[in-house]
C-alpha cells in the first residue's frame, strides 16, 4: 500500500484518478460536478474546482511528451468533456493570495461530445487519442457511438475530432466501460447488455464481438478487463 487516505469532506467519491507525476489524487462524484484535488503526501485537500453542472462519470489525464503539459479531462452525464489545465494545481504563493484566483479560469475547453451523456473514457498513449462513449438514442440501434478525439501536439486545441474515423459503430445500447491496451493495439468496450467489442487501434475497426452466456443474467462487470476474464470459453459471435 503506497498510502492510505480518508476522505471525509464533500460527496462520496465514485470517480478517481491518481497522477503519479504530480502525486495528486483527483476525486469526483456522480452527484456533483466538482473535482477535489488531494495531496497524497499530506492527505490535505489541495484544491476544489467546479467543472460541470451535473454528476461526473470519468476522469483521465492527458500527457504531452514534448511540451510536458498535463491536462485533466472530465466526462459528465450532461454530455460534455471538459479540459482543465493541471498547471493550476501548483499555483504560486502570489496566485493563492489573489482574491480573484479561480481554478475554473483555467478550463481550456468544453466539448459537447455526446447527446445522451458521457459514461466512460480512455486515454490511449502512443496513439495520442482519447475515446469517449455514452448512451444511445431511444429505439435506435447502433447509435451508442464511441467517439475518437485527437489530443496530440499538432491539435489546434487539446481535443479535436479524429481526422479520419470520428467514431466507432457497433454497440446497440449504453456503453459502460472502455479499456485501452496500446501494447496490443486494442481497445475494449462493454455495453449494458454484456456485449464486448475488441477494436483494432491501427485500423479502427472491430476485430471481435463477444457476448455473455445467458446464465450470467444482469451480473455485468463494469470493467472491460474483468468482463473478458469472467467469460468462460465464449466463442466469437461475429468478426468485424
How far apart are alpha carbons 15 and 51 in whole angstroms? 14
Distance CA 73, CA 189 (A): 19
Find the helix or strand (DSSP H, E) in which 97 lies: helix 93-97
Instruction: For residue 122, give the nearest of 173, 75, 82 by alpha carbon.
Output: 75
Q: Is the confidence at residue 191, as pLDDT, over 50?
A: yes
| Parallel, antiparallel or unpaired: strands 146-150 and 56-63 | unpaired
With 90 as the cut, is the pLDDT of residue 41 above it?
Answer: no
pLDDT value at position 28? 94
Give the per-residue pLDDT at 51.
94
Cα 167 from Cα 118, distance rounded (Å): 14
The conformational region for residue 202 under phi > 0 = left, psi -120 to 50 = alpha, else beta, is alpha
Phi first, then psi, for residue 48 (nearest 5°) are -130, 130
Average the pLDDT over each of 30-44, 60-74, 132-146, 161-175 and give the range with the smallest value.
132-146
The string of pLDDT tens digits covering residues 113-133 is 888 889 899 999 888 899 999
The pLDDT of residue 156: 55
Question: Is 72 a residue whose pLDDT tops 70?
Answer: yes
pLDDT tens digits, one per residue of 177-188: 999 998 889 999
What value does the mean pLDDT take over residues 85-102? 72
Which has the minimum average pLDDT: 56-70, 72-86, 187-201? 56-70
Residues 190, 72, 136, 30, CA torsion sign: positive
pLDDT tens per residue across span 202-238: 999 999 998 875 444 444 444 554 554 444 433 333 3
Residue-level pLDDT at 228: 47
The angle formed by the CA atoms of residues 152, 206 and 119, to the nearest 5 degrees, is 65
Query: Residue 101, Cα to own-chain centre: how many angstroms?
Result: 27
- Check residue 14 and give its pLDDT: 87
Does residue 85 contact residue 102 with C-beta atoms inside 8 Å?
no
What is the average pLDDT across 70-89?
A: 91
Q: With CA atoms as reference, report the closest residue to 109 among 151, 167, 143, 163.
A: 151
User: Can you read off the three cell numbers belonging to residue 94?
Assistant: 502570489
Cα–Cα separations (whole angstroms), residue 1 to 5, 56, 112: 11, 27, 38
* Planar angle of CA 169, 171, 177, nearest 5 degrees: 110
Write down the pLDDT at residue 237: 35
User: What is d(CA 30, CA 125) in angstroms, rounded to the nearest whole number?
Assistant: 26
Q: How far is 210 from 10, CA to CA, in rounded Å? A: 39
> Is the backbone of residue 112 left (phi > 0), alpha (psi -120 to 50) or beta?
beta
pLDDT at 197: 93
Residue 13: per-residue pLDDT: 85
pLDDT score recorded for residue 213: 53
In angstroms, the CA 109 to CA 232 distance is 43
| Predicted TM-score of the model (pTM) | 0.79
Mean pLDDT along residues 80-96: 77
Mean pLDDT of 124-151: 83
The arithmetic mean of pLDDT across residues 91-102, rounded, is 65
Amino acid at each position: 500500500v503506497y498510502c492510505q487516505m480518508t476522505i471525509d469532506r464533500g460527496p462520496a467519491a465514485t470517480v478517481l484518478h491518481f497522477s503519479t507525476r504530480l502525486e495528486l489524487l483527483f476525486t469526483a462524484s456522480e452527484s456533483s460536478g466538482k473535482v477535489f484535488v488531494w495531496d497524497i503526501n499530506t492527505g490535505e485537500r489541495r484544491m476544489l474546482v467546479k467543472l460541470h453542472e451535473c454528476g461526473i462519470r470519468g476522469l483521465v489525464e492527458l500527457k504531452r511528451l514534448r511540451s510536458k503539459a498535463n491536462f485533466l479531462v472530465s466526462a459528465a452525464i450532461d454530455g460534455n468533456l471538459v479540459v482543465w489545465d493541471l498547471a493550476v494545481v501548483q499555483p504560486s504563493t502570489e496566485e493563492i493570495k489573489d482574491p480573484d484566483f479561480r481554478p475554473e479560469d483555467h478550463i481550456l475547453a468544453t466539448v459537447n461530445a455526446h447527446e445522451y451523456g458521457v459514461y466512460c473514457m480512455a486515454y490511449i498513449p502512443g496513439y495520442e487519442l482519447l475515446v469517449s462513449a455514452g448512451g444511445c438514442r431511444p429505439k435506435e440501434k447502433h447509435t451508442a457511438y464511441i467517439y475518437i478525439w485527437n489530443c496530440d501536439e499538432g491539435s489546434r486545441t487539446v481535443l479535436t475530432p479524429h481526422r479520419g474515423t470520428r467514431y466507432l459503430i457497433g454497440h446497440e445500447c449504453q456503453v459502460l466501460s472502455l479499456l485501452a491496451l496500446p501494447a496490443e493495439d486494442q481497445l475494449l468496450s462493454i455495453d449494458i447488455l454484456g456485449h464486448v467489442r475488441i477494436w483494432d487501434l491501427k485500423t479502427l475497426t472491430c476485430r471481435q464481438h463477444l457476448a455473455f452466456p445467458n446464465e450470467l443474467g444482469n451480473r455485468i462487470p463494469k470493467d472491460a478487463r474483468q468482463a473478458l476474464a469472467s467469460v468462460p470459453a465464449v466463442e466469437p459471435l461475429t468478426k468485424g
